[in-house]
Amino acid sequence: MTNTTRKISILLPMVYIGIIVVKDYLVNLLVYMNDSEKGLAYISLKSALIQAVILICGALAFIYIKYITMRKEAVYNGEEAQSFLEIGGFRKISLSEAGAAVLIGTLSYIAFNSLKNVYMMFKFCVYGDAGFAAEKIPVGSGEFLFLLFIFAFLMVIGEELVYRSMLFYNLYCKGKKNVFSILFCILVFAAAHGSVEQMLQAAFLALLLCTITIKSQSVFICVIIHMIYNVLGTTITYYNPMFMLEFFGAGYDMLQVDGMIVAVKLLLAAVIATTLLFLLVQSRGIRKISVSELAVKKNLTGKEGILLGVILIYSIYKIYKVLQ
């Protein structure tokens, strides 16, 4: 392992720990402690804005420092300096790949949202109350566009820079080609969400996006998929939160619905959408790029292992707090 690789390996978890600590501290300080009486919509919007800015700034700082470090070593060794776009999975994509990403984003929303609703219908059948948000949230067109900008653009850019480009791309493409890289990123991404339903969707989405990153070596594709996912999610949440359930026969009056029948319909829809999703991901719509020339075989150093362990423990703690 070169000095540059060792520095980057230690820098990666340190920057992530800094991002998460600052993000959680500021959200609790500026949102939940001061704005607890201003309504869920206001709290979620302000929280998302703070998180997005911190994620973007932290990831860009890491990528910039990594670029400067690698460039200095390249110049020192008389090699050609690596470009900024070659160090974070930022391969340019074709129009056909962008179109495939839009379809993948749509199918993934149908599949993962259906699975989430299966879970909620199960809760309804067992406990009689699944916590469904039955009424739409009143927002004007201008407010809604601002919501889309935050949730489907800023938040997506921040999360993809951190969780795919910074964390997963560096763990997987630099030698750690094993299940650990995928499970690690699934866990920390799920832990960044605030409810069981959100964590369930986030875990499946993280698995999909890590798979796309492995195949395509392009975070741009993940950004498009994630944007489509969040556009659909934000639109349905604010205009008709019961859309998926109504489509399969569950109206606002949940007591008059056979929950198990609806759950089976949702599960079938999830299976069909997931099958189509798998076929699309495996098709030639997304180019497969080899990373053999990029991989640097290396083992976890002691310091790196400790820092990654801290991240895992903190993520598990956050999931435990949500499940309580």
**Domain locations along the chain:** 90-323
| Average pLDDT of the residues of the chain | 79
At residue 297, the pLDDT reads 45
Which residues make Cβ contacts (< 8 Å) with residue 167, sequence separation at least 6? 12, 16, 184, 185, 188
Count Cα neighbours of 234 within 13 Å in the Cβ-side half-sphere: 24
Task: Determine the average pLDDT of the residues in 305-315.
Answer: 85
**Cβ–Cβ < 8 Å for 16, 162:** yes
Amino acid at 322: V
- Please name which of 94, 95, 90, 104 lies closest in space to residue 218, comparing C-alpha atoms: 90
3-state SS assignment for residue 34? coil
Cα(150)–Cα(234) distance, rounded to whole angstroms? 10
Question: According to DSSP H, which parts of 217-301 are helical?
Answer: 219-239, 243-247, 259-282
pTM here?
0.87
Cα(174)–Cα(89) distance, rounded to whole angstroms? 11
Residue 78 has pLDDT above 70, yes or no: no
At residue 296, the pLDDT reads 44
Residue 254 has pLDDT above 90, yes or no: no
Q: What is the pLDDT of residues 155-199, one digit of tens each?
A: 999 999 899 888 887 777 655 556 788 888 999 999 988 788 889
At residue 36, the pLDDT reads 53
**Cβ–Cβ < 8 Å for 126, 24:** no
Residue 77 has pLDDT above 50, yes or no: yes
Give the whole-number percent of the chain exceeding pLDDT 90: 21
At residue 135, the pLDDT reads 54
Task: Determine the average pLDDT of the residues in 285-291.
Answer: 69
**Cβ–Cβ < 8 Å for 208, 108:** yes
Cα(49)–Cα(52) distance, rounded to whole angstroms? 5
At residue 99, the pLDDT reads 92
Q: What is the pLDDT of residues 3-42, one digit of tens each?
A: 666 666 677 788 888 888 888 877 777 665 555 556 666 6
Count Cβ atoms below 10 Å from residue 185 Cβ, excluding itself: 22
Cα(316)–Cα(302) distance, rounded to whole angstroms? 21
At residue 24, the pLDDT reads 80
Of residues 93 and 302, more confidence is placed in 93
Give the whole-number percent of the chain exceeding pLDDT 70: 75
In degrees, to the nearest 5, what angle opens at C-alpha 254 toward C-alphas 251 and 259?
A: 100
Cα(48)–Cα(220) distance, rounded to whole angstroms? 21
Cα(131)–Cα(144) distance, rounded to whole angstroms? 24
Q: Which of 9-23, 116-130, 233-247, 262-276 has the highest mean pLDDT?
A: 262-276
